[in-house]
Chain A
Amino acid sequence: MTTDTGIQGIYFDNNATTMVAPEVVEAMLPYFTEQFGNPSSMHLFGNKVGLAIKKARQQVQTLLGAEHDSEIVFTSCGTESDSTAILSALKAQPDRKEIITTVVEHPAVLALCEHLEKEGYKVHYLKVDGKGRLDLEAYGKLLSDQVAIVSVMWANNESGTLFPVLEMAEMAKAAGVLFHTDAVQAVGKLPIDLKNSAIDMLSLSGHKLHAPKGVGVLYLRRNTRFRPLLRGGHQERGRRAGTENTAAIIALGKACEMAMEHMEHEQTVVRAMRDRLEQAIIEAVPYSFVTGDPSNRLPNTANIAFEYIEGEAILLLLNKLGIAASSGSACTSGSLEPSHVMRAMGIPYTAAHGTTRFSLSRYNTMEEVERVIAAVPPIVAQLRKLSPYWAENGPVEEPEKAFAPAYA
C-alpha cells in the first residue's frame, strides 16, 4: 500500500491483523460466484461446497496436528471460539464455579471472565513477573475439583512471550480440569501437535495467518464435554449452528496449508529480520529496552519500550513515513487504559506508555527492516526534545523527582 504522499508502506503490525495471501484470495473467490451453494443442500450446487469445506477442515487439522478432522469447529472469529470454550465448560459442569486464567490474556478472555465474576464465578488471575512469565507452582496450587476450566494464551499478543501451555495442560489433566488455550498468535508461527498434547480446546483466528477476517476455529478434543454457544442447526455437527461462511472457511483452509509450508521460513527468515530490527534499534536508541522474555517468544514480534516518550506520538510520526506499528500506550487503546500487559510486568509508566510493537510476517523484507531501523532513532529524538523528562542528551537527573507534576 502507498501513503497519501506516495511512499511505499511498510506493514509491521501483523499481530493486529495480516494481509490476505493472494493465493488465499484466489482460492476463496469462486465461492462467492459459481460455487454459491449451501453445503447442506442435496443438489449439486451444495455438494461441491460441502466437499471443499471438508478439505479446509483437513487443512486446519494438519496445521494443528489434531487427531480427527471432526475436532475442528469453524466459528466466526477468535473471540467467539474463546467465549464458546469457556461458557461451554461452565454449562457442562454446573457444580464447578472457578476459572483459572492470567492477567495478560486478550480482552476476548479477560472481559468475559470479569463479566462472569459479576455472575458469581470465582476467577483466579495468574500473575506474571517482569519478563511476563507465569509461576507454575502457584498455578498448580489453584487446580482443584472446583475449577471448571483453565484458559491460558499460547503466546502473548503484545510481548510475544510464550506460555508453557503444554505443561500447564498436563497439570490440568492430572487434576481433572479442562484446559483451553487462546492460540490466535501462535498458530502458523509455531509447530503445533495437539494429538500429543493434553489441550482440550484451542482458539484460532483466520485473519492472524493471512486468511480473511470473520472466520475462526475452535479445536475441540474428541470426548470433551461440550455445550454449544449457538443452537439452531446441524452445522458443525450441531456444535456451532448457523450457515457456514463457506468462502472464508475455504480461505482459512488454504491459509493453513500455506502456513504449514512456511513454518520453517517463519522460524528462520522472519526471526532473523526481527532480530536485526530489534538489535539495531536498541543499539541506536539510548534508554530503550525489549519487553517480555526475549529468549522465549514468537519469532515475529519485537516489543520495544522507548523511555520518556509516548507511543501514540511515535506511531503518528512512523505513520507519516508509511510505517505501521502499534503501541501499548493508553492513548492508542480507545479506552485510555495503558496496556494491562505492560502494567502486569511492572514496567514504569514513563516506559510503558512508549512501548512500540513491531510484528513481522513472511511478506516483509530485510530492505523494509533497514528502512525502519533508519526511521526510528530520529523520531524518538524528536519526541524526547518535547518531553519534560528529557534534558539535552539524556533524561533529566532523577526524572521522577525533577518532574513530579500534580496528578489528579
Chain B
Amino acid sequence: MWEYSEKVQEHFFSPRNAGAVDEANAVGDVGSLACGDALRLSLQVDPETEVILDAGFQTFGCGSAIASSSALTEIIKGKTLDEALKVTNQDIADYLDGLPPEKMHCSVMGREALQAAVANYRGEEWKDDHEEGALICKCFAIDSVLIEETIRNNKLTTVEDVVNFTKAGGGCSACHEGVEEILTRVMAESGQTFQPSAPAPVAVAIPTPTAKMTSVQRIRKIEAALDAIRPNLQRDHGDVELIDVDGKNIYVKMTGACAGCQMAAVTLEGIQECIINELGEFVRVMPAELMPRAERAHG
C-alpha cells in the first residue's frame, strides 16, 4: 500500500471540481504512458482579465492522480493565466502534504495539463517535451532517462559520478545495480566498457606545502575552506560547523537540512576535497559523532 498523506486521501475520497466545466474556453488533455494515467483539464477563463473563473478535471488514474487533479483545480482558481503558469508540480505535491516518490509524476501530469490548457486558450500548440523513464532511485525519485542523459552529456564512467551528478544512488544504495546497468548500456554507445571495479582514485593533486603551518594557521585555512563551501550548503537550507582538528582528522557538524540528510556522506567527501586543496596536505573530514569518546567528554 502506498503511504498517502491525509490530504491526498481526502482529495481522493472527496475530489473538488470533478467533471467538465460547462462554459469551458480552455481544455488541456495529457497522459503519462509510464502509468497509463490521463487527465483532461477544462477552464473557464475571463477573456478581459484572463482570470480563471472555474476549473474542472476528468481523470483516468490512480488515487494520487485524482488527488493531484483536484489539488490543481483548487490552486489555480482565481489566478490569472500567467500566475497559474508559475505553479510547479512541487507546488501541487506540497499542497497535498507530499506524494510518494513513485507518484511524483502524477503532479507533473497536473502541471502539464495546465500548460496544455493555457496553450489551447491562446491558440498555441503544446508539445510534451518531458520524457519519463523507469524509476531507478527511490530515495530521490530519479528516473532512468535523467540518469542516461546525464551520463551521456557528462561522459560519466562510475557509479560515484552518477551519484555526484544526479544524486541517484546517493541514499540507500540499493539501486546501484540498476545504475551500473545504465552505465554499461550508455558507455557501450561510445564503444566504452563499464569497469565496475575501476579503482576510482580520488584525483586530488596535493600541492606541496611551502612551509609548515602553525595550528592556528591551519585552523584558519580550514575555516576559510568551509566559508567557501557554506553558500552551497545554505542554498539547500543546511550548514557546517568546525568542531575540532586533531592532526589529520577534522571533525565537523552538519546542521540544518544537512543534518541527517542522506547525502551527508557525499557532502563530507566534497568538503574534504576542498580542505585538502586549501591546506595542501591530506586530511580526513569526519562527522563530530565519530570523535573519540574521551575527547567528547572533555570537550
Query: Please, how many angstroms separate the alpha-carbon atoms of A332 and B102 in the complex?
Result: 11
B122 contacts partner chain A, Cβ-Cβ < 8 Å: no
Q: Is the CB of B19 within 8 A of A405?
A: no
Alpha-carbon distance between A387 and B29 when the two chains are bound, in angstroms:
12
- Tell whether B35 is near chain A: CB-to-CB under 8 Å: yes
Interface residues of B in 63-110 (CB under 8 A from A): 63-66, 102-103
Question: Is B13 touching A405 in the complex (CB atoms < 8 A)?
Answer: no
A312 contact from B58, B62, B116, B126, Cβ within 8 A: B62
Q: For the complex, is A386 an interface residue (Cβ under 8 Å from B)?
A: yes
Q: Does B241 contact A (CB under 8 A)?
A: no
Q: Is the CB of B36 within 8 A of A386?
A: no
CB-defined contacts of B116 to chain A, threshold 8 Å: 406
Which one of A320, A336, A387 has the greatest number of beta carbons of chain B within 10 Å? Answer: A336
Query: CA–CA, A335 to B40, complex, Å?
Result: 25
Which residue of B has the minimal Cβ distance to A350? B60
Contact (Cβ within 8 A) B29 A403? yes
B58 touches A338 (CB 8 A): no
Chain A hits for B31, CB < 8 A: 405-408
Query: Which of B129-137, B158-166, B274-282, B283-291 has 4 or more CB atoms under 8 Å from chain A?
Result: B129-137
* Contacting residues of chain A (349-391) with chain B, CB-CB under 8 angstroms: 349-350, 352-353, 385-389
Docked-complex contact A406 and B60, CB < 8 angstroms = no
The verdict on A387 contacting B30 (CB below 8 Å), with A336-B134, A405-B39, A406-B127 known, is no
Cross-chain contact A308 with B60 (CB below 8 angstroms): yes
A231 CA to B18 CA, complexed, in Å: 60
Residues of B within 8 A of A312 (CB): 62-63
Cα A389 to Cα B103 in complex, Å, equals: 22
Cross-chain contact A408 with B130 (CB below 8 angstroms)? yes
A331 touches B62 (CB 8 A): yes
Asked whether A385 and B18 contact (CB < 8 A) given A310-B62, A338-B36, A407-B31, the answer is yes
Q: Are A329 and B39 in contact (CB under 8 A)?
A: no
Residues of the B chain whose Cβ atoms lie less than 8 Å from the Cβ of A407? 31-33, 128
* A313-B63, A313-B66, A407-B128 known; A388+B30 contact, CB < 8 A: no
Q: Is the CB of B61 within 8 A of A331?
A: yes
Q: Is A120 an interface residue (CB 8 A)?
A: no
Contact: B126 with A353, CB < 8 Å? no
Task: Closest A residue to B9 by CB, please name it.
Answer: A316
Contacts of B61 in A (CB 8 A): 310, 313, 331
A330 contacts the other chain (Cβ, under 8 Å)?
yes
- Contact string against B for A residues 310-330, beta-carbon threshold 8 Å, 1 for contact and 0 otherwise: 111100110010000000011
Closest Cβ of chain A: how far from B3's Cβ, in Å? Answer: 12
Please tell me if A404 contacts chain B, counting CB pairs below 8 Å: yes
A309 within 8 A of B: yes
A329, A350, A352: the one contacting B62 at CB < 8 Å is: A329
Kindly state whether residue B55 has any CB partner on chain A within 8 Å.
no
Whether A6 sits at the interface, judged by CB under 8 Å, is no
Q: How far is the CA of A320 from the CA of B63 in the complex (A)?
A: 13
Q: Give Cα A329 to B31, complex, Å.
A: 15
Q: Pick the contact of B34 from A352, A386, A405, A408 — CB < 8 Å?
A: A408
Min Cβ gap B184→A in Å is 9
A22 at the interface (CB under 8 A from B): no
Answer whether A320 and B126 are a contact pair too, CB < 8 Å, given A336-B34, A388-B29.
no
Q: Is the CB of B38 within 8 A of A405?
A: yes
Q: Does B59 contact A (CB under 8 A)?
A: yes
B60 touches which of A309, A320, A332, A408 (Cβ 8 Å): A309
Find out whether the CB atom of A408 lies under 8 angstroms from the CB atom of B38. Answer: no
* In the complex with contacts A313-B63, A406-B30, A406-B128, A386-B58 CB distance below 8 A: yes
In the bound assembly, the distance between CA atoms of A310 and B67 in angstroms comes to: 14
CA A406 – CA B38 in complex, angstroms? Answer: 9
Return A76 CB to nearest CB of chain B, in Å. 21
B30 — nearest CB in chain A belongs to which residue?
A: A405
CB of A310 within 8 A of CB of B33, answer: no
A350 to B38, CA, bound (A): 10
Is B12 on the interface with A (CB-CB < 8 A)? yes
Instruction: A407 to B18: give the CA distance in the assembly, Å.
Output: 22
Minimal beta-carbon separation of B198 from chain A (angstroms): 19
Residues of A within 8 A of B38 (CB): 388-389, 403, 405
Q: Could you say which residues of chain A place their CB within 8 Å of the CB of B66?
A: 313, 386
Interface: A334 (CB within 8 A): yes
CB contact list, B45-65 vs A, under 8 A = 57-65
Q: Is the CB of A387 within 8 A of B62?
A: no
Q: Which residues of B contact A406 (CB under 8 A)?
A: 29-31, 116, 126-128
Q: Tell me whether B223 is interfacial, beta carbon within 8 Å.
A: no
**Contact partners of A331 in chain B: CB under 8 A:** 35, 37, 61-65, 103
Q: Are B40 and A408 in contact (CB under 8 A)?
A: no
Quote the shortest CB–CB distance from B268 to chain A (angstroms): 32
* In the complex, B171 has a CB within 8 A of chain A: no
Decide: A386 and B128 in contact? CB cutoff 8 A. no
Which residue of chain A lies nearest to B103 when distances are taken between CB atoms in the complex?
A331
B15 beta carbon closer than 8 Å to chain A? yes
CB distance from B55 to the nearest CB of A (A): 14
Measured in the bound complex, the distance between the Cα atoms of B34 and A408 in whole Å is: 9
Interface centre among B13, B29, B38, B62 (most CB of A within 10 A): B62
Residues of chain B with a CB closer than 8 A to A317's CB: 13
Contacts of A308 in B (CB 8 A): 60
CA distance A320 to B9 in the complex (A): 11
Residues of B within 8 A of A316 (CB): 9, 12-13, 63
Contacts of B37 in A (CB 8 A): 310, 331
Can you report 8 A-B residue pairs in the complex whose CB atoms are below 8 A from each other? A309-B60, A310-B60, A329-B62, A336-B35, A336-B135, A388-B40, A406-B128, A408-B131
The 4 closest A-B pairs by CB, nearest first: A331-B62, A312-B62, A405-B31, A388-B58
Beyond A312-B62, A386-B18, A408-B33, 6 extra complex contacts between A and B, CB < 8 Å? A316-B63, A331-B37, A349-B36, A388-B29, A404-B29, A405-B40
